[in-house]
Structure 1
Amino acid sequence: AALPAVAPAAAPGAGRAPRAGAEALLCDLFAAVLGRSEASPDDDFFLLGGHSLSAARLVTALRSRTGVELPVRALFDHPTPARLADALERVGGLEGPGRTAGAPPLVRRPRPARPPLSFGQRRLWFLARSQGEDGSYNIPLAIDVAARLDPAALRRALGDVAARHEILRTVLPVEDGEAWQQVLDITAAEPGLAEAHVREARLGERVRAEAARPFDVERETPLRAVLFTVKPDPAEPGPAEPGPCGAETVAPVRQTLLLVLHHIAADEWSLPPLLDDLAAAYAARLDGSDPHPPRLPVDHIDFTLWQQDLVTARQEADAQFWRTRMRGAPEQLTLPWARPRPARTGGPARTHDFGIDAELHQRVKALARRTRTTTFMVLHAAFAATLSQLGCGDDLVIGTPVAGRDDEALRGSVGFLINTLPLRTRLDATTGFLDLLERTRDDDLAALTHQSLPLERIVAEVNPPRLPGVSPLFQVLFAVREEFPDRAVLPGQTGRPRLVATGAAKFDLQCTISEDPATGATGQLEYRTELWDAAAADRFARALLLVLDQVTAHPERPVATTPTGAGGAVAAPEPHPVPATSLAELCAAQAAR
């Protein structure tokens, strides 16, 4: 109460009017990309809610409007329209030498008789052919409702979604040893809706079994749906029981809609537009009308053909970057407490969930704002620090997915558009977390600048040794995702849609942080059960949380002094009395033994 009155900060967009030219254009682009009505010249992109993905969208929007190609890091270094416009002027302005040479536009284009697979699709198709389908690349999404859905309307709505996104009615037949994308007519490929009645006690088991059931991508379209209706358990009252004064009390209906997509046709960034389209289509079908969404700017085959041109245009620079970046990188990362590795990749997996409370999540975001980074970069650096502190070494390669949706034409698309990048982090005993974070920021931005080279091409260019049971380049994946929007997709929906674990591992360890601005964040570890057990997963989660707590409270301290609280992480040597002999003789005797 004794503090002087402070004038409220100006609302976003409330600053001075922009200067004509680059500054005015950038204000418009800031507002459009961030979903705001306006932005002023001095508004900070990241304080307005920007992150790495939206930064890439802004750079792409600038290229589409002007032909000027800016690296993503330019926005991190100059985060306001005024500062970014000044930086543009220093390299020649909108008409200067920064104009794009050879980056193809993403538009509809003529199709060959047999459209090829995208790079990512080719990798998953090869894995399916060589290892067999096991459900590890399924994307199962469950929606719980406390109402009775209309199966006929739901079935037609699923058909509407498949009609809009042709990748959902695409099969991958093989001719002359090569798979290609064959788009089926909607009348022949409308997704089915299976219905099942299941006891409450068996619901989870039935959902997980259906979630893990493999697809035959050569003959089967990549979307299926099952509507589970929960029956009361025998000990529970039936659907109609006598109530007071003879009235009947009807037990509420509970249903779960499970949508299962194959990763070869979709990624997690595909799920929000798919759910939006399903919600609109189901509402229209319940109303007895046909949904009429606007046609998508491009389809998945257009993306595939564009991606080939893009990779060709940037191949030389991207390949040189990754060869240099990964030179001398370790061949594998061995997890703490891991059992001997089997001579194959994949295998069964389990998950371990943990929470990041709202206060700690706010500290992560505050540190990101203070250091001109993103929450992903802070969490990535803390994850790497945890692995290092638990004995994984000081040179780590961690994989991370990038959305691949920089172009505005792809924002509402369903498809396998992501790429996965190997992010290399190097630490030493004296590295403070602020220094590590700055290094992580530079490394992550450099990788994003060269993200157009597909993972399989990166592996080919780096050409690491192939080891039995070891995924090339990286064996641990780290990802940060936003929670699904807190709005109902279906009438009577309870809670957000939720991803279902398939029980099959893609990597030794996958850590996914899901952010929710209101409640903090949640984390999930998916681990190979042949390498880890539940106790190891719990110890790692606790260590990660303790490291996050420490580095956000004391970011200037050396990472090597950060406690993990994971007792037994690195086995302590057993003490022995020292005999009257030299160290050299002791070592020789030990070696002889």
Structure 2
Amino acid sequence: METKKDKIKSLSREQLAGLITKSRDSKKSDIERVARTSNAFSQSFSQQRQWFMEQFMNGGVFNVPQSYRLKGDIRLDILEDVLNAVVEKHESLRTVFNTIDYIPSQIIKPYERFKLDIIHLEEYDGAVRDAKIREVNSEIARRPFDLTVGPLWRFYVLILSAEEIVLTLSLHHIICDGWSFGVIMNEIASAYRDRLHGQVTRSLLQVQYVDYSEWQRKRIEGGQLDDQLEYWIGKLKDAPKAIHLPYDYRRGSTQTYRGRTEYFFIETEAVKAMSDRCVQMNGSMYHMMMSALTLLMHGYSLDNKLCIGTPVANRNQLELEKLIGLFINTVVIQSEIASSMTFAELFTQVRDHCMEAFNHAEIPFEQVVTGLDIERQMQHSPVFQVLYVQTEESMLSVSIPGIEVEVLPVSVETAQFDLSLYATILKNGISAGFEYNTDLFAQDTILQMIEDFKLLIQLITENPDRTIGEFVSSLSRKKVVMTVVSSFESGPVGEPMEFWLDKLRIDYKLQFAPYSQVFQQLIDDTGLLCRSSQGIGILLLRLEDWIQGMDAKDARLEAVLTDNANRFIQYACSFVNKHQSKVILYLCPASDKVNQMNETKRLIQQSEQKIAAECAKNGNISVLHGDEIAVKYKLSEYNDGLGDEEGHVPYLREYYTAMGTELVMSIYNTALQSTG
């Protein structure tokens, strides 16, 4: 039987928004108007974050542009009047930002009438004109603002002909969000319509943005949102630091924001099939797109736990719907994925996590990051590096009498995150684009990602009950999973391996099992090695680790070494035969201490020779000898006795570098080449 909860889950975002609106219409808002005894006010938490970020990376990174092509009998004098009216009405458009008594503040300036900026493009036509529009719009969108001076907006009119113009708006994110453009355009349309009929109406706002920011601050500082903060800290305390996407270029020491967007379209027929599946799975198109993106990111990263950010309007009070300002908040959708689960199961998980997240969406993301007390990284954004943004066509559409309005995309050539998917749900399809950091991804990679995303959409709608592993196998670009299993602490080998893997442009995921788990990883079906059995297993084996703590004269030494050697051969061969996977066995040099014990050294060498001979018979196991590699790299001293005693790190840095280099060369020359 379908419960009320199930019915709510199946509603679209628009239907849910309608229910929320109805429920709050009957509630009296508790946002009070702040006394205007001063023109300076506290910043909202989102503004505070924007202000902080702007100090480090200005240059138009946080500009938010929107452009509209207008066709018809256009009165530029009326358009200028109504835009002036919008600026006069909304204090946020007259706000600048500076520190007062060392406190970042927002300062409201008095209204001053302005003239529209006009650019004439009548001399251009056809494709040349379209290119010129893109060029001009891009320049307007990228031009930085001075937060301390203002205004923090630019309104341009590009005149194409007597009956066709382009209206381009560029605002700094600190005073607006995506919803704000709907407010601006609806006010333009309404006021334009009135002025055409000789009417001039000036409606006042009950509350302004500064009233909201003071109200928000009181709520948070008063502990009213502590339960939401506790929810997110519990939800994200074990979240991965970063997603492991197949970047084309090595990430630098600081995050960059250079970017571009590659656009694509999902046709009506495919959207209809998606919509039908959504109904069957009691979800919405939003859940479908988020789930498909989650699947794609899993396929490209091979991360079993990943986080994707998504914005929420955060306008839960009726008065806020009519304001221009930065209300938007970001929530994190964290997913746990296994190859054996079906897409339908992933869809249900994502849908439920979205519902939970939206119910805890008032606490600013900045507060969540602070509450998590995570180490801030300069290389990437905290918690998530991939964003999903969905817009409904109704949010962009505007009706002006006698004028045809078309939304134009604007390229700002920036990227706030590693990767963002923007999607607009239209009546005849889905218009979408991947915005990406060009210092991390090549264009070809993103174009291939688009093709893979569209393929996943097709396969999902055909059969959502296929396993995640089956969907991932259909992707064109696959990572090589390399799992290091060692009898000692092998972490230092990671750096040289990553260097050469990047140099050779190998898409990889390098992971380390806890050391001293060689046998467990070979036989445990839930172990790290088994979970990535289609990749490459790297076994770093130092036989003396099997007999640590035993007396060198103990008669049991030979028995233990022999028994462990036999078991290792059995388990290693059984593992590769069962999973048809590749394994590189690296037999590591003995310590100086063992080298001084002739009998112990002889017993270890005897077991090593047996292991090497038997494993080499298996075509899927490559054997490397650590002693030979030390000679090859002319390393006469490479053991670290102190490191071995303190942290079970037995070798000097130089040897780990040689080890990592040889492992990657072996991977490249044998394991990868043999698979084509």
Category of TM-score, reference length = shorter chain: 0.7 to 0.9
Residue in 2 aligned with 1:172? 97
- Cα 1:212–1:459 shift into 2, 3 Å: same
> CA contact under 8 A between 1:333 and 1:392: conserved in structure 2?
no
1:155 is aligned to 2:65? no
Report the identity percentage: 23
Residue in 2 aligned with 1:390? 300
Residue in 1 aligned with 2:70? 145
Pairing partner for 2:119 from 180, 196, 200: 196
- Cα 1:576–1:415 shift into 2, 3 Å: closer
Between Structure 1 and Structure 2, which shows a larger proportion of helix residues? 2
> CA contact under 8 A between 1:269 and 1:403: conserved in structure 2?
yes
> CA contact under 8 A between 1:373 and 1:441: conserved in structure 2?
yes
Pairing partner for 1:556 from 451, 465, 471: 465
Q: State the distance in 1 between where 2:357 and 2:614 align.
A: 53
Deviation at 1:487, TM superposition (A): 4.3
Residue in 2 aligned with 1:471? 381
- Cα 1:480–1:345 shift into 2, 3 Å: same
Amino acid aligned to 1:115 = F
The equivalences for 1:360-509 within 5 A come to: 360-483=270-393, 484-489=395-400, 491-493=402-404, 495-509=405-419
- Cα 1:569–1:217 shift into 2, 3 Å: same
CA displacement 1:149-187 (0-9 Å, x = unmatched): 43332221111111222211222232222232222222x
Q: State the distance in 1 between where 2:119 and 2:583 align.
A: 69
1:306 is aligned to 2:229? no
Q: State the distance in 1 between where 2:373 and 2:200 align.
A: 52
Structure 2-normalised TM-score?
Answer: 0.67
> CA contact under 8 A between 1:106 and 1:302: conserved in structure 2?
yes
Deviation at 1:449, TM superposition (A): 1.6
Residue in 2 aligned with 1:582? 615
Q: Which structure 1 residue ranges, 5 or more long, are not aligned?
A: 1-40, 68-103, 232-251
- Cα 1:514–1:263 shift into 2, 3 Å: same
Deviation at 1:475, TM superposition (A): 0.9
Amino acid aligned to 1:531 = L
Residue in 1 aligned with 2:43? 117
> CA contact under 8 A between 1:543 and 1:564: conserved in structure 2?
no
Give the match's secondary structure for 1:264. Answer: helix
Q: State the distance in 2 between where 1:490 and 1:271 align.
A: 19
Give the match's secondary structure for 1:502. Answer: coil
> CA contact under 8 A between 2:25 and 2:318: conserved in structure 1?
no
Residue in 2 aligned with 1:332? 242
Give the match's secondary structure for 2:327. Answer: coil
Residue in 2 aligned with 1:58? 19
Q: State the distance in 2 between where 1:224 and 1:440 align.
A: 39
Structure 1, 368-377 or 457-466: larger mean CA deviation: 368-377
Give the match's secondary structure for 1:496. Answer: strand
Residue in 2 aligned with 1:128? 54
Residue in 2 aligned with 1:354? 264
- Cα 1:175–1:536 shift into 2, 3 Å: same
Q: State the distance in 2 between where 1:587 and 1:112 align.
A: 79
Residue in 1 aligned with 2:181? 271
> CA contact under 8 A between 1:546 and 1:563: conserved in structure 2?
no
Residue in 2 aligned with 1:86? none
- Cα 1:391–1:413 shift into 2, 3 Å: same
CA displacement 1:341-363 (0-9 Å, x = unmatched): 12222321111011111122122
Amino acid aligned to 2:45 = F
Deviation at 1:106, TM superposition (A): 2.9
> CA contact under 8 A between 1:191 and 1:225: conserved in structure 2?
no
Q: State the distance in 1 between where 2:381 and 2:314 align.
A: 22
Q: State the distance in 2 between where 1:560 and 1:165 align.
A: 52
> CA contact under 8 A between 2:309 and 2:333: conserved in structure 1?
yes
1:220 is aligned to 2:150? yes
- Cα 1:406–1:474 shift into 2, 3 Å: same
Pairing partner for 1:531 from 412, 430, 440: 440
- Cα 1:209–1:489 shift into 2, 3 Å: farther
Residue in 2 aligned with 1:3? none
Q: State the distance in 1 between where 2:380 and 2:6 align.
A: 46
> CA contact under 8 A between 1:318 and 1:450: conserved in structure 2?
yes
Deviation at 1:459, TM superposition (A): 0.6
Amino acid aligned to 1:129 = Q
CA displacement 1:436-492 (0-9 Å, x = unmatched): 111112211121121111011111011222223111111111111112554444754
> CA contact under 8 A between 2:258 and 2:438: conserved in structure 1?
yes
Select the structure of larger CA radius of gyration: 2
1:545 is aligned to 2:423? no
Q: State the distance in 2 between where 1:158 and 1:436 align.
A: 46
CA displacement 1:304-335 (0-9 Å, x = unmatched): 12212333343321221111111221111132
CA displacement 1:231-258 (0-9 Å, x = unmatched): 8xxxxxxxxxxxxxxxxxxxx6542111
